[in-house]
């Protein structure tokens, strides 16, 4: 079993999940694969708005994440700018770019943004954070700006959409999808073979689909 962790640095939920999921996978003896994707690409495909694009939801998100972090003593200081352009950070975090240092690169970038409050859209600050972690920031950023890295991020995002990923963070254990920070508990139960849904027969519910649909909203039936 492998767990794919789909994330974008735009999400504070992804930051908090990134702090917990390595230990969770280690406890269950499963491989964790880090999969940076462009959140905007998911939103555009599924026709959604991100939390930061709805002001009351943006404030609720920050407060919820801050409560979560304070209760668990996780450092939490939002980035200087939000939303920001995450492309450089995401490309630097690709396995094709970071290689065997990928977990350390991801941790360093998440921490510079959501623990130290730096600008996750600034290439110079990303480079400095990677250098401070002993990861050779200049070389990583040079690879991140290559056409190969740009194509790889596009491919990762398209692959995520093909697998049904619609939000960040998403964890896929095989074909079972868990979306959101609050799903870590259910993910671990699934990996333990204790998923509460294991005995549920969905065909027994007799669900026949929607009887009404909001005007202007695409149904994505092909997905």
Convert the pLDDT of each residue in 60-95 to its tens digit. 999 999 999 999 999 999 999 999 999 999 999 999
Please say whether the beta carbons of 35 and 65 come within 8 A: no
Q: Assign 223 a pLDDT band (cuts: 50, 70, 90).
A: very low
Q: What is the pTM of this model?
A: 0.94
- Quick: pLDDT tens for 28-52: 999 999 999 999 999 999 999 999 9
Place of tokens 């939490």: 76
pLDDT tens, residue by residue, 148-204: 999 999 999 999 999 999 999 999 999 999 999 999 999 999 999 999 999 888 878
Q: How far is CA 94 from CA 57, 91, 130, 208, in A?
A: 29, 5, 14, 41
State phi, psi for 72 to the nearest 5 degrees: -110, 5
pLDDT for 107-132, tens place per residue? 999 999 999 999 999 999 999 999 99
Flag whether pLDDT at 208 surpasses 70: yes
Q: Largest alpha-carbon pair distance within the chain? A: 57
2-205 fold: Glutaredoxin (3.40.30)
């Amino acid at each position: 079993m492998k767990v794919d962790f789909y994330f974008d640095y735009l999400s504070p939920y992804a930051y908090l999940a990134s702090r917990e999921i390595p230990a969770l996978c280690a406890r269950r003896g499963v491989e964790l694969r880090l999969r940076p994707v462009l959140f905007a690409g998911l939103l555009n495909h599924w026709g959604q708005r991100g939390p930061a694009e709805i002001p009351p939801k943006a404030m609720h998100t920050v407060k919820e994440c801050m409560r979560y972090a304070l209760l668990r003593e996780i450092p939490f200081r939002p980035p200087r700018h939000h939303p920001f352009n995450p492309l450089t950070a995401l490309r630097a975090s690709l396995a094709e770019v970071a290689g065997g240092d990928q977990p350390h690169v991801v941790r360093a970038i998440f921490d510079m943004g959501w623990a130290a409050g730096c600008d996750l859209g600034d290439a110079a600050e990303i480079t400095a954070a990677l250098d401070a972690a002993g990861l050779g920031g200049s070389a990583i950023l040079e690879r991140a700006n290559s056409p190969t890295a740009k194509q790889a991020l596009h491919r990762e995002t398209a692959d995520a959409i093909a697998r049904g990923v619609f939000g960040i963070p998403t964890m896929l254990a095989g074909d079972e999808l868990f979306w959101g920070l609050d799903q870590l508990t259910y993910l671990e139960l699934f990996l333990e073979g204790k998923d509460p849904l294991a005995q549920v027969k969905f065909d027994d519910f007799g669900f026949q689909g929607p009887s009404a649909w909001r005007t202007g909203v695409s149904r994505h039936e092909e997905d």
